[in-house]
Amino acid sequence: MKLRSLTLHRLRMPLVSPFTTSFGTEEDKYVLLLEGSFETDRGRITGWGECVAMELPLYSAEYVDGAAEVIERWLAPTLFAADDLTAETVGELLEPVVGHPMAKAAVEMAVLDAQLRAAGVSFARYLGVTRTAVPSGVSVGIQSSVDTLLEVVGGYIDEGYARIKLKIEPGTDIAPVEAVRREFGDDLLLQVDANAAYSLSDAPLLRRLDEFGLLLIEQPLAESDLRQHAELAEQLSTPICLDESITSAQVAADAIALGAASVINIKPGRVGGYLEARRIHDLARANGVAVWCGGMLETGIGRAANAALAGLPGFTLPGDISGSKRFYDLDITAETVMSDGEVAIPEGPGFGVEVDPQILSRFSVGEHTVTG
């Protein structure tokens, strides 16, 4: 394949409700989508990619406008220069550019989507996935009160979500978890995500979570604190899951070897793409470490790709792949529907979803095309 043009779409998509984590509150989602036009054996084919960077550099160093700059100025020219572009070679081609995994992942997605469309193969089939649906969990942001939290969680349980994840931060941790466990019982699959908000000296406090039978506690300490996560793991019975820390298969190998993680949240954007995500899955599975697929408030494109990835056999815990309605009243692709606690894996070529041009233009706040 040969990349002929790359359009960067910036959108502002209203969220159903504000989403609060220990990093801050998002009222709407500032989205960067890539639309690549590729020359293939089967003529011109379009491939779509989604960048999961957030508007502000708070979850990670990357942010939407920064990622767009890196893609346009540094990544795209390399891809335009490649004569036989494949998804499998994108990572190597872009390796000289240090960092920027979310920008690189978005570019790789566009190439992968086009390549699979040209071949008439779904992403799930490309991965060797045999499942047709994956369990659907929901991530619940920090709420203004415990009563509101119980109401929100009850709503998701009524909808049929298979697992509940509560965002926590210092001061909003033990009480909400205790209240949810008491209200909804011991059978509820429940886990918490601290988004790096604690330090090792909080171990006595975090140990109080052990009595609530959580599936895991996600990223309690800072991104670079692998050793301290390993020390914390010795003090807690709740399994420690790493999210922000796992930036590559290499870091995942170190985390597993150190005993810093007994579970890994795989986010393809955070690790530089779906192919690296697959390598982390394989590594974790070989080491008996469970993985699940996290979410970054993706539109229908990223959500579809995540559903296929989560069909791999090592994804033994429910992920954050919820229905579109969890975040968006109107998505840019056909709505992802959660039914009976599951989301179907798309079967069409590529990521198996089509972008609606009218909805795209409705949410558009900027569009820019670069050519080789």
Between 218 and 298, name the residue whose CB sits nearer to Mg ion.
218
Between 51 and 168, name the residue whose CB sits nearer to Mg ion.
168
Interface with Mg ion by CB under 5 A: which range of 69-77, 177-185, 210-218, 299-307?
A: 210-218
- What are the backbone dihedrals phi and psi of residue 335, each rounded to the nearest 5 degrees, phi first? -60, 135
Interface with Mg ion by CB under 5 A: which range of 43-51, 110-118, 187-195, 250-258?
A: 187-195
Between 50 and 243, name the residue whose CB sits nearer to Mg ion.
243
Residues 152-181 that bind Mg ion (CB under 5 A): none
Minimum distance from CB of 297 to Mg ion (Å)? Answer: 12
Is residue 193 part of the contact set for Mg ion (CB under 5 A)?
Answer: yes
Could you give the strand order of the β-sheet that contains 240-242, starting from the edge strand earlier in sequence? 137-140, 163-167, 190-193, 217-218, 240-242, 263-266, 290-293
Interface with Mg ion by CB under 5 A: which range of 100-108, 112-120, 193-201, 231-239?
A: 193-201
Minimum distance from CB of 267 to Mg ion (Å)? Answer: 8
Interface with Mg ion by CB under 5 A: which range of 23-31, 115-123, 186-194, 271-279?
A: 186-194
Q: Which residue is nearest to Mg ion (CB)?
A: 243
Residue 325 designated active-site: no
Residue 104 designated active-site: no
Catalytic residue among 29, 104, 165, 167: 167
Total number of residues that touch Mg ion (CB under 5 A)? 3
CA–CA separation, 264 and 266 (whole Å): 6
Interface with Mg ion by CB under 5 A: which range of 160-168, 204-212, 236-244, 311-319?
A: 236-244
Minimum distance from CB of 275 to Mg ion (Å)? Answer: 22
Between 220 and 352, name the residue whose CB sits nearer to Mg ion.
220
Contact 224, 204 (CB under 8 A): no
Minimum distance from CB of 61 to Mg ion (Å)? Answer: 16
Binding mask 327-346 for Mg ion (x = CB under 5 A): --------------------
Is residue 320 part of the contact set for Mg ion (CB under 5 A)?
Answer: no
Catalytic residue among 29, 104, 165, 267: 267
- What are the backbone dihedrals phi and psi of residue 370, each rounded to the nearest 5 degrees, phi first? -115, 145
Is residue 243 part of the contact set for Mg ion (CB under 5 A)?
Answer: yes
Minimum distance from CB of 194 to Mg ion (Å)? Answer: 8
Minimum distance from CB of 214 to Mg ion (Å)? Answer: 14
Considering only the C-alpha atoms of the chain, give the largest distance between any 2 of them, rounded to a whole number of Å: 61
Is residue 108 part of the contact set for Mg ion (CB under 5 A)?
Answer: no
Residues that bind Mg ion (CB under 5 A): 193, 218, 243
Active site residues: 167, 267
